[in-house]
Homo-oligomer: A and B are copies of this chain.
């Protein structure tokens, strides 16, 4: 289950961040989209109804949301700085290279591999990045 606007608002406040109208608008823009969005795309989306919200505010809001892990950064698609709304549990992403739709998936456990790698390489492993890229059902039909 994805994070709701309300839930995000609560977490922001819990961490001492103010819930400004601008932030609410940015959060709304992200939660209401199936895609992953770049800062510029969010700015455009937001700018239509709220022409006085600046791009800088988008960047600052995204930085906070990412820090609190309320949004995730995606890489396998086009931009390396596009974001999608997060889910509370650990998950990975499946991204449509055509329309940008993101599907979350869970249930794949990398810890066996992580342990093997850690032993072989003597690294202390802190995290990982796993994304699949492909074409969603709709985009397969109409490319």
Please give, as numbers and ranges, the residues of chain B lying within 8 Å of A7 by CB-CB distance.
none
- The answer to whether A114 has its CB under 8 Å from any CB of chain B is yes
- The answer to whether A52 has its CB under 8 Å from any CB of chain B is no
Residue from the list B75, B105, B117, B134 in contact with A132, Cβ < 8 A? B117
**Bound-complex Cα distance A49 to B32 (A):** 52
By beta carbon, the residue of chain B nearest A112 is: B108
B129 touches A105 (CB 8 A): no
- The answer to whether A125 has its CB under 8 Å from any CB of chain B is yes
Residue from the list B75, B123, B126, B132 in contact with A125, Cβ < 8 A? B132
- The answer to whether A56 has its CB under 8 Å from any CB of chain B is no
- The answer to whether A94 has its CB under 8 Å from any CB of chain B is yes
Q: Which residues of A contact B (CB under 8 A)?
A: 75-76, 80-81, 94, 96-97, 103, 105, 108, 113-114, 117-118, 120-137, 140
8 smallest CB-CB distances across A and B, nearest first, come from A80-B80, A125-B134, A122-B137, A75-B75, A123-B134, A129-B131, A128-B132, A76-B129
